[in-house]
């Protein structure tokens, strides 16, 4: 069954790549003897590899690497597996290189950056292996979900490699250059895989493969997917007592344990059902990490003013941005409700993350996130934030996940006197990547202490951290703290032509677009286009959010001035 499925999808990918340019290699088995019948061959000859690689941005890398591992008799179905496995091997080589460099590192920042690389590249390898493993689960009836998942996982692989390199700020430049060189081919190969996957999804629809129907995954807003059991629906609508927590954390000794870390140590690994950790009112001064093996963890507090998780790690004191998070969530399927998470380092300490999330299909409901610079690191995968409060100064929502913020209160705080506020810094490195920050029906306002300084120290909606940075502000309230230009450059003209920033149907004094910057990357799109970046379309929310009970708006609201 598995091999047959891999054959089907590999052939589909190959057809897609060839169809992109309308070319099928035709060969005669007897040289120039045109009297012999000619047959179209999907082989791994140089010409067919060339056609296979044509949709990619790095064609030479694709052709060279495939040619080096493909034999004369390699079957067409093996091309896709070869692309994945070659990429994994290249990332492994970079992983080993980081280990070698770390042994020779002479300063703490470089050593930490290389240790981060090891962890991040391990995530990248795991995502690619996961993608290969899921080829066996492929069916035409689930093609949309399959493509969406692949794009998210492969996008994360690209982000992890880039985050490895980001960690060398103020570290040994020689080590940074060496790692960039080591990651060059694997980054190009991963980008190529994303190009191939993106391409074959479109071609499937074009060729109307039997059984292909994009509506098969639709789930009615009041119903649930078949895999959601009745007992696990509407989780977030229950009180802690009704949830019957698996573990209770209480500093006064009235629970099972006194720290969140202890509860996580007791929690089962690789759980397929929700593991509920109830955190009673109190101040928990600890660093919390939900590891990759801790899947489907649900943390519930007594409210965003009562259950507080805090720390103060920061960049100025020698910790890399990636490691400063008070709470880091890696295991998939994470849910948080009624919590307060902060990094109390303060504006003078620069990068200081309160929450870092790389958990696919994660949900944050009624959670307060407090910090200054880099408060929320929406690192990778699909994330949903509902009725959360997020505070900060510079780039305080940043990262490359596919994240939607809905009905959230976003408060700019008072920065240092020589600073200005930037709400978002989206980090999409590849033009086909799944990442974007979507603010829908949110309110962007000034914290009371910042309010008197909002004209002197302005606030911008975002700036392009990476070349293909993408942020949408949809149907939101923008108060008068927003600078009339709206968006701020990162440096020079970097990303100004390739970013994708748009504001649609917003309201409030800060929503006036008449003086917005005129970059090529600041675009006006219609409501139909914006629908692609809603909960339903962008993070496929109807297929997984209903089981949690978190309220959500699947699409856009009626346009301003329209009847409800």
395 tagged catalytic: yes
For residue 51, give every residue at least 6 positions away whose Cβ sits within 8 Å of its Cβ, in sequence order, or none: 17, 18, 21, 23, 24, 25
User: Nearest CA to 360 among 409, 403, 324?
Assistant: 403
For residue 136, give every residue at least 6 positions away whose Cβ sits within 8 Å of its Cβ, in sequence order, or none: 1, 2, 5, 6
CB-neighbour burial class of residue 408 (10 A; exposed 0-12, middle 13-18, buried 19+): buried
Interatomic CA distance for residues 288 and 367, integer angstroms: 16
Handedness of CA 137, 141, 143, 144 (dihedral sign): negative
Q: Using the 8-state DSSP alphabet, how is residue 257 labeled?
A: B
Which residue out of 148, 374, 395, 479 is catalytically annotated?
395
User: Nearest CA to 103 among 169, 175, 165?
Assistant: 175
DSSP string across 206-234 = HHT-TT--TTTT---TTS--TTS-GGGTT
User: Nearest CA to 251 among 263, 239, 269?
Assistant: 263
Sheet with 477-478: strands ordered across? 282-285, 307-311, 340-343, 368-370, 389-392, 409-412, 443-446, 477-478
Beta bridge pairs of residue 257: 249
Task: Give the active site residues.
Answer: 395
């Amino acid at each position: 069954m598995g091999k047959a499925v891999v054959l089907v999808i590999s052939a589909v990918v190959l057809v897609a790549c060839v169809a992109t340019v309308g070319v099928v290699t035709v060969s005669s088995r007897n040289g120039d003897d045109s009297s012999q019948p000619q047959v179209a061959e999907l082989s791994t000859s140089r010409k067919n590899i060339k056609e296979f690689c044509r949709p990619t941005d790095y064609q030479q890398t694709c052709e060279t690497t495939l040619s080096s591992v493909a034999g004369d008799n390699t079957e067409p179905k093996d091309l896709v597996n070869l692309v994945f496995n070659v990429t994994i091997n290249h990332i492994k080589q970079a992983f080993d290189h980081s280990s070698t460099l770390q042994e020779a590192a002479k300063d703490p920042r470089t050593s930490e950056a290389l240790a981060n690389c090891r962890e991040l590249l391990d995530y990248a390898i795991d995502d690619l292996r996961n993608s290969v493993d899921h080829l066996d689960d492929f069916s035409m009836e689930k093609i949309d979900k399959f493509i969406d998942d692949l794009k998210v996982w492969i996008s994360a692989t690209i982000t992890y490699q880039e985050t490895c390199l980001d960690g060398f700020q103020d570290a040994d430049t020689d080590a940074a250059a060496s790692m960039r060189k080591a990651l060059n081919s694997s980054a190009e190969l991963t980008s190529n895989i994303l190009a191939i996957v993106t391409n074959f999804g479109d071609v499937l629809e074009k060729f109307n493969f039997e059984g292909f129907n994009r509506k098969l995954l639709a789930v009615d807003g009041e119903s649930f997917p078949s895999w959601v059991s009745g007992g696990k629906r509407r989780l977030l609508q229950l009180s802690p007592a009704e949830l019957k927590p698996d573990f209770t954390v209480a500093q006064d000794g009235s629970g099972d344990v006194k720290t969140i870390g202890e509860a996580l140590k007791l929690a089962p690994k690789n759980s397929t059902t929700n593991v509920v950790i109830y955190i009673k009112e109190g101040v928990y001064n600890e660093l919390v990490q939900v590891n990759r093996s801790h899947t489907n963890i649900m943390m519930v507090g007594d409210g965003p003013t009562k259950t507080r998780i805090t720390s103060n790690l920061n960049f100025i004191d020698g910790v890399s941005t990636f490691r400063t998070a008070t709470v880091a969530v890696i295991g998939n399927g994470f849910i948080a409700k009624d919590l307060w998470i902060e990094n109390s380092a303060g504006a003078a300490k620069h990068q200081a993350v309160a929450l870092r999330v790389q958990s696919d299909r994660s949900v944050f409901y009624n959670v307060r996130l407090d910090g200054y610079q880099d408060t929320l690191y929406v690192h990778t995968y699909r994330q949903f934030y509902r009725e959360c409060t997020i505070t900060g100064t510079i780039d305080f929502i940043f990262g490359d996940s596919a994240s939607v913020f809905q009905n959230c209160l976003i408060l700019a705080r008072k920065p240092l006197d020589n600073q200005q506020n930037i709400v978002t810094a989206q980090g999409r490195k590849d033009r086909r990547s799944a990442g974007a920050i979507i603010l829908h029906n949110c309110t962007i306002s000034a914290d009371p202490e910042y309010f008197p300084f909002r004209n002197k120290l302005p606030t911008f909606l975002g700036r392009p951290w990476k070349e293909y940075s993408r942020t949408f502000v949809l149907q939101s309230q923008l108060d008068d703290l927003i600078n009339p230009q709206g968006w701020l450059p990162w440096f020079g003209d970097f990303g100004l032509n390739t970013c994708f920033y748009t504001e649609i149907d917003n309201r409030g004094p800060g929503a006036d677009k008449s003086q917005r910057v005129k970059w090529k990357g600041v675009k006006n799109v219609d409501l139909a286009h914006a629908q692609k970046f809603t909960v339903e379309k962008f993070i496929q929310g109807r297929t997984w959010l209903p089981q949690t009970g978190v309220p959500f708006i699947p699409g856009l609201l009626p346009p301003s001035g329209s009847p409800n």
